[in-house]
Amino acid sequence: MELTVTRLNRQLQSCSAETRNEILVVFQLPEEHSIGVGDKLIITEFRMDADVTICHGPTKQTFRVLICSDNVHDLRLPAHHGGSRRPSPERIDAA
């Protein structure tokens, strides 16, 4: 799965990254990182509620992060209070 970094929140130490088919993944930044907005990230084995290895495209450095299912969103689904935007397995596989 290839993602493009769309937002960095330095106060919360989080990173938002989006796939080409509009799946948003948010995760905690590692302590030492050189990630910037627009950078490409690659996850070879995407899993939710598990630690995954991410490769930072520009530097080829790898790091591990926890991807929580609550932080994976299908941006093509409508947002509404109390609703879920969790992507289907088919949408994740297509990412």
- pLDDT tens for the chain, 95 residues long, are 999 999 999 888 999 999 999 999 999 998 877 899 999 999 999 999 999 999 999 899 999 999 999 999 999 888 775 667 888 888 888 87
Q: What is the pTM of this model?
A: 0.86
Report residue 5 as tokens: 């970094």
- What's the CA gap between 18 and 38, in Å, rounded? 10
Q: What is the CA radius of gyration of the chain?
A: 13
- What distance in Å separates the CA atoms of residue 12 and residue 28, rounded to the nearest whole number? 8
